[in-house]
Chain A
Amino acid sequence: MSQHGIARSTRVRTEEQKLLEIERIKKYRALEDQVRSRASRTDYTAELFHLTSQLLRLNPEYYTTWNVRRRCLISSLLSKPSPGSSLSRASPSSSPAATPTRPSASSSSSSSTAIPPSPGSPTAGTSGTTAEAGQTKDAEILTSELTFTIPLLIDSPKCYWIWNYRLWILQQIIERLPIAAARQVWEDELGLASKMLNKDRRNFHAWGYRRQVVEKLESAVLEGQSMVEPEFAYTDKMIRTDLSNFSAWHRRSKLIPRLLDERRADDASRRAFLDKELALIREALNVGPEDQSLWYYHQYLVLNLVTTAGRPTIAPALATEDRVTYLTRELVDIKDLLEDYVGVKLIYEALMEYTMYMCQLEERKPDADERAQLIEWLRQLKKLDPMRKGRWEDAERDYGLAEPRFTIT
């Protein structure tokens, strides 16, 4: 989409370099022309399919080429869906070749990684050998597509089109293969998501992909069941590798309400869970109070104590006085951080915000001590964080802490 992080060069191309580039353009455009002219004739054959492989390796952002590739698969390479199946209803509107053409004999996509469907699956073998052969071939082609996209993803891990294409292939696998075989392929995708997240722990494409894969694995379509426990354990692993990985903390925050529900956690175990999470993040904050990721997760836990509106919370049965006790403990601990760390503005920000939460919980205004503290913390914030001066001034006004001034009315 755009140039990210590529150093500006003032280099002028030599004549030789220019010629080489023109040669490169010629080859690229010749390939592109072949793909386009065949596609415009709706000539969705194995040959065109192979041309798209070449073009996509040169340019994985070329979304139309991914679409041409899909149309080749639907029109000629994959077996024809049986009437009444979801596939026969799903012919893409703008595909001029929605009428399937002859099954191409030359279409076998050679791949050593193809996984044949499991012979014992419930849907295989019910309608004779032709259907079985079709399924085996489909399995080969589709798994080969998964293999094809891996090096492209590794080179372009933020390219939306590759991720989408892969999900589309996985959907074809569900629609064309026996459930057991399809499930195996989808389970393997978790490995890919993990691999991509090991390369870049914050890649939101990979996190999103993981979420979609898990949702499907949990669904009835793949005869799945909840994966909330292993997914929660995965966030544990990612956080322990890198405490600063907010993507993992975020995912954790989304899993927790479900996790507790599915564990059928009673009030005591919900409380114990909250204690454990608070201990985990407290420990992390003790060594990294400059890290925003940690404070956001801490905020998530604290919000569970103070707001209930419309959201599932960790320990809904806590009485107000228990909530106050929890919040007091957090405030005491955060104040302790001030002794070890000088000049960390995030500490003051948390103190200020949580003190206001305390007042909200107790449905009161700040008392004299709190007022004095808030004034002091805001003074520190303005000093340590002048970039957000406007925000601190608004807080001062909203909390009623501004010095009384003469005003002209």
Chain B
Amino acid sequence: MAGTASALPDELGLVASAHVRYIQSLDTRKDEYEYWLTEHLRLNGLYWGLTALYLLGRPDALPRDKTIDFVLSCQHENGGFGAAPGHDAHMLSTVSAVQILALIDAFDELEARGKGKAQVGKYIAGLQNRQTGTFAGDEWGEEDTRFLYGAFNALSLLGLLDLVDVGRAVDHIVSCANFDGGYGSGPGAESHAAQIFTCVAALAIADRKDLIDKARLGAWLSERQITGGGLNGRPEKKEDVCYSWWVLSSLEMIGKTDWIDKDSLIAFILRCQDPERGGISDRPGDMVDVWHTLFGITGLSLLGYEGLEPVDEVYCLPKSTIARVLGDERF
């Protein structure tokens, strides 16, 4: 597996321009079967790619007007967004849509040409389970702390967090906490680094980080770093670049990024690059994709890697975007 990796020069840096070209190429791969099989992730993919480009300092690398057109073409009458035109509305794609519009400063277009902020807020708020406080992904009712975080993320960007019962949602997160300091997808579920990110970030948005057992969570998160520098998502699992984001952003939110070895994590992420064709994979030598490309880059950004825009650990958007959208409202 490490064949390709060990062949890379030790001093390989971030191949930024290859990554930009890779992301630009994603929508031109219509002669690949995989392109069509992944249409249910198109809007999410646009968010992943565009955010990566902004962090790479290339906000102009995809055309803004076409981006807006595409995002608005995914919106339904009820305010929610599907992953692509003709796909049903879902929390995950709706959050991606809001994040993209925040990123490219186009909320005014949502008002002018889309269904408007208020309708989006109404769609999201309608997915809250008013008994338990958690959120469903769509009308069919799957519940998960991923959706709760998504709702908080998008609603707070829209300035509409007061549409939902924040207190009850916070109670729900508390009910997902485990003895090891981590959180799962629901009450009773095992701690998992990605679910921890969603719970900790939702608590951050609700200004309730005081509820986190920071010492125990920090210890658990720091143990995710394994030999070779990469991070895994649960005990005794393999490392994966995407945990560079889930684990590291969580550590950042509780002020404990010093509890892991940053240099070896940087080196691990860099080893997962495809230096010729761009993109980042889960582990060295594997196929790249835009999801791992984003989370490799956000990881490097949090690690202070030179030449990258700083990323916001709660919203997974550039800090400059969050400063513009939230301004002084950010506690």
The answer on A and B forming one complex is yes
> Which chain A residues have a beta carbon within 8 Å of chain B's beta carbons?
1-9, 18, 21-22, 24-25, 28-29, 32, 36, 40, 58-59, 61-64, 67, 70, 92-95, 160, 164, 167-168, 202, 204, 207-208, 211, 244, 246-247, 250-251, 253-254, 291-293, 296, 299-300, 303, 311, 386-391, 394
Interface string of B23-63 (1 = CB under 8 A from A): 00000001111001111110000000000000000000000
Contact B178 A250 (CB under 8 A): yes
Stretch at the interface among B64-72, B98-106, B157-165, B179-187: B179-187
Sample 18 A-B pairs with CB under 8 A, ordered by A number.
A2-B291, A7-B287, A21-B33, A22-B31, A25-B31, A25-B33, A59-B40, A61-B41, A63-B87, A67-B88, A92-B139, A254-B188, A291-B236, A292-B236, A387-B260, A387-B264, A388-B225, A388-B260
Contact B86 A6 (CB under 8 A): no
Which of B139, B142, B188, B190 contacts A246 (CB under 8 A)?
Answer: B190
Least Cβ–Cβ distance between B206 and chain A, in angstroms: 19
Contact B139 A93 (CB under 8 A): yes
Inter-chain contacts of B80 with A (CB < 8 A): 94
- B258 contacts A by Cβ under 8 Å: yes
Contact A62 B1 (CB under 8 A): no
Number of residue pairs A-B, CB distance < 8 angstroms: 160
Inter-chain contacts of B188 with A (CB < 8 A): 211, 254
A3 CA to B179 CA, complexed, in Å: 32
Answer whether A388 and B259 are a contact pair too, CB < 8 Å, given A7-B1, A63-B88, A254-B188.
yes
Looking across the interface, which residue of chain B has its beta carbon closest to that of A167? B142
The number of residues on chain B lying at the interface, defined by a beta carbon within 8 Å of a beta carbon of chain A, is 67
The DSSP consensus for interface residues of chain B is loop
Contact B283 A296 (CB under 8 A): no
Contact A3 B82 (CB under 8 A): no
Least Cβ–Cβ distance between A12 and chain B, in angstroms: 11
Least Cβ–Cβ distance between A404 and chain B, in angstroms: 22
Stretch at the interface among B13-21, B216-224, B317-325: B216-224
Contact B283 A94 (CB under 8 A): no
Contact A4 B282 (CB under 8 A): yes
Most buried by A among B31, B188, B283, B292: B188
Answer whether A7 and B88 are a contact pair too, CB < 8 Å, given A62-B40, A247-B190.
no
Looking across the interface, which residue of chain A has its beta carbon closest to that of B186? A208
Answer whether A204 and B285 are a contact pair too, CB < 8 Å, given A28-B36, A293-B235, A293-B236.
no
Inter-chain contacts of B237 with A (CB < 8 A): 202
Looking across the interface, which residue of chain B has its beta carbon closest to that of A95? B139
Most buried by B among A2, A311, A389: A2
Contact A208 B225 (CB under 8 A): no
Can you add 12 more A-B contacts, CB < 8 Å, to A18-B31, A168-B141? A1-B291, A4-B282, A7-B285, A8-B287, A25-B33, A28-B37, A63-B88, A92-B140, A207-B189, A388-B222, A390-B259, A391-B218
- B109 contacts A by Cβ under 8 Å: no
Least Cβ–Cβ distance between A164 and chain B, in angstroms: 5
Least Cβ–Cβ distance between A219 and chain B, in angstroms: 15
Contact A2 B292 (CB under 8 A): yes
Inter-chain contacts of A391 with B (CB < 8 A): 218-219, 222, 256, 258-259
Inter-chain contacts of A250 with B (CB < 8 A): 178, 190-191
